[in-house]
Amino acid sequence: MGVLALQGAFIEHEKMLGKLGIRTVEIQQRGDLEQHFTGLVLPGGESTVQGKLLRDLNMLEPLRQLVAGGLPTFGTCAGLLLLAKHVEDGDTHLALMDITAKRNAYGRQLGSFFTHAEMTGIGTIPMTFIRAPYIESVGKNVQILSEVNGHIVAAQQGNMLVTSFHPELNDDLSVHRYFVNMTESGHSLDQAADIL
């Protein structure tokens, strides 16, 4: 499994995948994209910084082509913003997933919080939010997987899975296991054409 390792909480994702017996490779430069990996994790962190680094390292377009071509991709928090086609008050980067995201949506007072909520296909799971975005609206090919307080916090479109929260910061492996299952099923590749 590839993990974008430019900035943010990539090591935590590597640890979670390791607990599931998945070997990870860190994606830090353009040449790393030529390695064989069956899925890609875009971690939380700072989406503006990650987007700038992807451009500076000439990684944005090849990464975009991989995801558009059907590579199963999981974006958490900043990773959600990287994938979003529309970002309120912010720049778009990969712009592949038909969602409109709101940056730092919970404001300062609710900047970080913890809850348990239902996620379709998994059940009730712990959710840690840190200055999180949420999804304001979704396109017709996007499946909403979870809502918290009336806001969409998890969704899937074909080979792309996103969460506003940080599943890598809890002990529960359910969300990572869900993503690993996506990488092992062929359905996500069939839906790649729906993205563009």
Q: Residues with catalytic annotation?
A: 77, 166, 168
From residue 92, give the alpha-carbon distance in Å to each of 33, 40, 58, 167, 180. 21, 19, 16, 23, 26
Q: Decide the pairing of beta strands 134-138 and 97-102.
A: antiparallel
- What is the rounded distance in angstroms from the CA atom of residue 104 to the CA atom of residue 111? 7
Name the nearest CA neighbour of 129 among 108, 105, 113, 106: 113
* Contact criterion met (CB below 8 Å) for 180 and 22: yes
The residues near 52 (Cβ < 8 Å, ≥ 6 apart) are none
Where are any strands of DSSP class E within the chain?
2-4, 25-27, 40-42, 73-76, 84-88, 97-102, 112-119, 123-130, 134-138, 143-148, 151-157, 160-163
Name the nearest CA neighbour of 42 among 169, 155, 163: 163
Q: What is the dihedral of CA 175, 12, 81, 117, to 10 degrees?
A: 40
